[in-house]
Amino acid sequence: MSSFAGRMKEYPNMSLDRFDRENLHARAYFLSHCHKDHMKGLKGPQLKRKLKFSLTVKLYCSFVTKELLLSNPKYAFWKDHIVALELESPTLITLIDEASGEREELVVTLLPAGHCPGSVMFLVEGAQGTVLYTGDFRLAKGDASRIELLHSGSRVKDIKSVYLDSTFYDPRFYKIPSRETCLHAIRGLVQDWVSRSVYHTVWLNCKAAYGYEYLFTNLGDEFHTQIHVKSLDMFKKMPEILSHVTTDRATQIHACRHPKDEEFVPASRLPCGSSASDGTPLSIISIKPSTMWFGERTQRTKVIVRTGASSYRACFSFHSSYSEVRHLPAYLSVCLGLLKSMCRDVSSSAVIYRPLGTLKRTRPEQHTHDVDCADWLFEGADLAPVRKRVMMQEATPTTLPNRPDEPLPLTHIPLITGDYMDCTESNDDDEEERDLEEEERGGERDEGSVSNSGTPPRWEEFFTTEILTESQTSQPHSCSQTPELFVDDSAKLPSPSIPLSAGRGLSQAESMLIQSEDRCQGDALTNLDAGGEESGSHTHQSEPTESQVSSDFDIPSTPDSHTPGPDDLSDLYRRLAAGEEVITRTGSQSL
């Protein structure tokens, strides 16, 4: 669940990704992507009633999101109230108060978010300044610099606030292998399996959500097959996706799901119950795309880890990693700082970077419903990661379950100390739990895979407004969403790193607000090389697989990590809280 309450303090008349409570009074709605946790209240009867009597209230989203949304009949009542916007086309939107007639003009621009089909960020420009709401995103370092509308001329726009997806804003996710790296590894594993015989079948155990289509299209192309899925309805106007999926069970790659029989799946049966026509039993492996599972590892792991006789975990994320999350506001503020100090207003010369003030942190062991979210958003708290699962009642500060303005007692920070057995599924259907990893072959390393491209992810390319005919859809054809669209070019931005790896100094949070006055500049934390070496071991066995793919990426890979002692941490926090320089970088500085 997104912890974002739906409104930005600069523009409280618009609601984004939340449609309940206060948001029922919004003058315009914005949906960044079609995941349920960003659609709370969207099918509620109250909103439905509101729409009936309103001529002006609209829902703005991308064309793909509109399509996905309307493919679910429960949202059909939105049909005449959705305004789909093109990506990267600034659009003037007038918010009208239907009671008073009061008007407010905004220019809203959708920017690609790389999270799932149709996902966008909203750049809002208006009387209260320019703000960026990211929704959920996965952008690699450097992607932001390629988004033209974040810039004005050669400079980054003066962005007042960034509302940031910080799902993996946690050092455990310091670095997540790029999409290409993950895809490459998965492709290798699939290759190794399906090439054995036509009875060798792969089940991609994907969470029921949009976001894996990239995997389907690429695997489909690679293996000249279509992926079996439960339904095609939502993709009927998206030929690039549609051509790669099928409801015909006779294929070697499945991503189908069936409620209820999760646990019977791997070795014996697919969720769809498919079996070979001649009665030969299928040999099935399951591959479970995961991110958090890898984040929990305390030792380096491969991109793919074998967790059982026929089951694997594959690293796959549609959220940015810690360093990627940090990069976005850092990129914006670095340029902002330069702009202010170098290009403007020479008289006031010095750019003052306000100290962070006190870090708002929360105790890891508290998870009960917090209530401060809406509150701090509107009360101008400083840079403050918010916790997840925050409920949206307005709450008085005194009800805060934790006093975020005090440094955490160090004893409450769980240090990752690193010596437990890796690669066991705690409650899974897997039999043997050993960590056999995969591979080697190809040896493309994440950091090494710098590449070309000047293009940010464009899920929109999947989309067409025409509905394809049966014959058109049955032909797999090449997909324009090639891996190079998702380049990890972290290598292009050399920068120092600091060992902030142990523990979780800053609480994990899903959304947080960063305001320009509060931001320190500098991209202090970018990854060092993860230092993956070629994994040497590959005994070839015949059992399920000791397959050889290339994926020598190790996770987690917080560079130079050592477990800081309480003194180190306490000193670090003190300095962070005081806004002191912790690391210096090319003239500017940073947290």
Q: Which residues contact DNA by CB under 7 A?
A: 1, 20, 35-37, 41, 43-46, 136, 167, 205, 207-211, 259-260, 262-263, 290-292, 296, 318-319, 367, 388-389, 427-429, 510
Give Cα separations from 58 to 2, 5, 80 (angstroms).
22, 19, 9
**Helical axes 179-194 vs 213-223, angle rounded to 10°:** 40
Q: Which is nearer to DNA, 97 or 262 (CB)?
A: 262
Q: Which is nearer to DNA, 44 or 90 (CB)?
A: 44
**Strand 311-315 relative to strand 304-308, pairing:** antiparallel
Rounded-to-integer distance, Cα 387 and Cα 221, Å:
40
Q: Which is nearer to DNA, 136 or 552 (CB)?
A: 136
Q: Which is nearer to DNA, 306 or 585 (CB)?
A: 306
- CB 304, min distance to DNA, A: 17
Estimate the share of the chain in helix, then strand, then coil, as percent rounded to the nearest 5: 25, 15, 55
Q: Which is nearer to DNA, 389 or 574 (CB)?
A: 389
In 220-282, where do the E strands start and end? 227-228, 245-246, 253-254
Please enumerate, as own/partner, the contacts of 102-109 that have beta carbons within 8 Å and a separation of 24 or more.
Answer: 104/11, 104/13, 104/27, 106/11, 106/14, 108/30, 108/60, 109/149
Q: Which is nearer to DNA, 118 or 456 (CB)?
A: 118
Q: Letter for the amino acid at 423?
A: C
Report DSSP state, residue 75. Answer: G
Residue 1: CB atoms within 10 A of its CB come to 12
Q: Which is nearer to DNA, 10 or 370 (CB)?
A: 370
Q: Which is nearer to DNA, 48 or 103 (CB)?
A: 48
- CB 328, min distance to DNA, A: 17
Rounded-to-integer distance, Cα 161 and Cα 164, Å:
9
Q: Which is nearer to DNA, 207 or 562 (CB)?
A: 207
Rounded-to-integer distance, Cα 330 and Cα 346, Å:
23
> Phi-psi category of 532—alpha, beta or left, where left has phi over 0 and alpha has psi -120 to 50?
beta
- CB 389, min distance to DNA, A: 4
What pairs with residue 122 in β-bridges?
110, 133
- CB 250, min distance to DNA, A: 24
For residues 71 and 175, is the Cβ–Cβ distance under 8 A?
no
Rounded-to-integer distance, Cα 118 and Cα 110, Å:
10
Q: Which is nearer to DNA, 167 or 251 (CB)?
A: 167
Report DSSP state, residue 507. Answer: P
- CB 231, min distance to DNA, A: 10
Give Cα separations from 491 to 148, 180, 486 (angstroms).
21, 15, 14
Three-class DSSP category at 327: helix
Q: Which is nearer to DNA, 229 or 334 (CB)?
A: 229
- CB 510, min distance to DNA, A: 4
- CB 388, min distance to DNA, A: 4
Instruction: Return the C-alpha torsion angle 298, 304, 308, 309, nearest 10.
Output: -150
Rounded-to-integer distance, Cα 309 and Cα 164, Å:
40
CA 354 vs. chain centroid, Å, equals 29
- CB 424, min distance to DNA, A: 12
- CB 378, min distance to DNA, A: 20
Q: Which is nearer to DNA, 198 or 208 (CB)?
A: 208
For residues 315 and 555, is the Cβ–Cβ distance under 8 A?
yes
- CB 46, min distance to DNA, A: 7
Q: Is the dihedral of CA 555, 557, 558, 560 positive or negative?
A: positive
- CB 318, min distance to DNA, A: 6
Rounded-to-integer distance, Cα 314 and Cα 290, Å:
6
Q: Letter for the amino acid at 68?
A: L
- CB 312, min distance to DNA, A: 14
Q: Which is nearer to DNA, 10 or 372 (CB)?
A: 372
- CB 481, min distance to DNA, A: 19
Q: Do you know the residue count of the chain?
A: 591
